[in-house]
């Protein structure tokens, strides 16, 4: 009897020991939580989004921005597509990743609309492919994926200024929005084809064609104000949406910045933000130099003319 009682007590204790592990099982996909929306990756994306928006202010800093943004998008879209092919990501996590992609998509659209020099054909092609890819995944998600992807323990909560259920009215609203986004995609395709044709002309020696007035000249004055709206309104809203969805869905992504998978994108974001800040400073200094006679500070120093 004593032996049986001791055995029963041991089994009960063993069951209690294992039960919390079941209840506290990790919510969401482990890979996504560490390598796609971990703390270093998220903050890195936030900083890159801010940097790209800052780069849109001047023509000097916009050069090369399109290819950089498109490369980041392609990497994150490839990772997301792999997870979707295995049905190993939850709807809430997919929304978080789509929000992160938007950090680079919106500033890159500004860069696309202001391609005023040749030789950027690769950036144009890659960005157009990325937008087709992202719009395709988004439309599929709201048409079917929201219902077929596993919840993986999440609360299936989304964000639209407040907490909503992904499979409720928010899904219908988002599907309509995703459908309308294809109208904008047509515009991106047309503009991309136009810029690609001009890029080929640049390599064929028709560099001066980019100097001629075109629709880009009409768009250029509106770019700085659009970038300012992104910095003040759009990017902060995306940050709040991403962080709130992580919180509401009980996700626990990696918070260890010492991990290589976290520190690398974080460092890239910091360097990108510093570079964008220096680009703005250089632009302001150049404008100041122009106002003082059209010669740069270095040129005036060489001639012994110092500005006091």
Task: Dump the DSSP string for 195-223.
Answer: HHHHHHHHHTT-GGGGGS--HHHHHGGGH
pLDDT digits (tens, 9 = 90+) for 119-134: 677 888 898 999 999 9
36 pLDDT more than 80: yes
pLDDT digits (tens, 9 = 90+) for 125-171: 898 999 999 999 999 999 998 999 999 899 999 998 899 999 889 99
302 pLDDT more than 50: no
Identify the sign of the CA torsion 9, 11, 14, 15: negative
C-beta separation of 73 from 130 below 8 A: yes
17 pLDDT more than 60: no
C-beta separation of 163 from 248 below 8 A: yes
DSSP 164: E
pLDDT digits (tens, 9 = 90+) for 262-278: 888 888 889 888 888 88
| Burial of 136 (C-beta count, 10 Å sphere; 0-12/13-18/19+) | middle
Which residue pairs, CB below 8 angstroms and at least 24 apart, start in 181-187? 181/135, 181/138, 181/139, 182/135, 182/139, 185/131, 185/132, 185/135
Q: What is the mean pLDDT of the chain?
A: 77
Residue 10: the pLDDT is 45
Residue 241: the pLDDT is 93
244 pLDDT more than 90: yes
| Burial of 32 (C-beta count, 10 Å sphere; 0-12/13-18/19+) | buried
Q: How many CB atoms lie within 10 A of CB 251?
A: 23
Query: What size, in residues, is the chain?
Result: 308
How far is it, in rounded angstroms, from Cα 28 to Cα 249? 9
How far is it, in rounded angstroms, from Cα 31 to Cα 115? 37
Rounded to an integer, the average pLDDT of 61-72 is 75
C-beta separation of 28 from 251 below 8 A: yes
Residue 96: the pLDDT is 92
Q: Token digits for 105?
A: 């998509």
Lowest mean pLDDT among 2-6, 136-140, 174-178: 2-6
DSSP 221: G
How far is it, in rounded angstroms, from Cα 67 to Cα 73? 10
Residue 239: the pLDDT is 92
Residue 202: the pLDDT is 57
């Amino acid at each position: 009897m004593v032996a049986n009682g001791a055995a029963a007590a041991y089994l009960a204790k063993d069951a209690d020991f294992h039960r919390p592990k079941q209840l506290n099982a990790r919510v969401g996909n482990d890979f996504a939580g560490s390598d796609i929306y971990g703390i270093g990756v998220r903050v890195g994306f936030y900083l890159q989004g801010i940097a790209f928006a800052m780069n849109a202010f001047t023509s000097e800093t916009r050069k090369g921005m399109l290819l950089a943004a498109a490369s980041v998008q392609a990497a994150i879209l490839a990772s997301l597509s792999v997870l979707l092919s295995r049905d190993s990501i939850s709807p809430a996590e997919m929304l978080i990743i789509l929000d992160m992609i938007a950090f680079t998509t919106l500033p890159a659209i500004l860069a696309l609309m202001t391609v005023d020099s040749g030789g950027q054909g690769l950036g144009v092609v890659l960005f157009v492919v990325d937008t087709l890819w992202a719009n395709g995944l988004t439309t599929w998600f709201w048409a079917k994926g929201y219902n077929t992807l596993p919840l993986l323990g999440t609360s299936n909560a989304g964000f639209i200024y407040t907490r909503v259920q992904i499979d409720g009215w928010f899904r219908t609203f988002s599907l309509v929005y995703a459908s309308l986004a294809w109208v904008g995609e047509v515009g991106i395709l047309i503009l991309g084809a136009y810029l690609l044709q001009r890029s080929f002309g640049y390599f064929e020696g028709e560099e001066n064609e980019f100097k001629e007035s075109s629709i880009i000249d009409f768009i250029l004055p509106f770019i700085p104000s659009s970038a300012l709206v992104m910095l003040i309104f759009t990017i902060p809203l995306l940050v709040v949406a991403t962080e709130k969805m992580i919180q509401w869905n009980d996700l626990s992504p990696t918070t260890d910045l010492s991990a290589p998978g976290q520190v690398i994108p974080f460092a890239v974001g910091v360097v990108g933000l510093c570079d964008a800040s220096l680009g703005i400073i250089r632009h302001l200094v150049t404008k100041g130099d122009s106002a003082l006679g059209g010669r740069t500070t270095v040129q005036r120093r060489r001639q012994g003319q110092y500005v006091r």
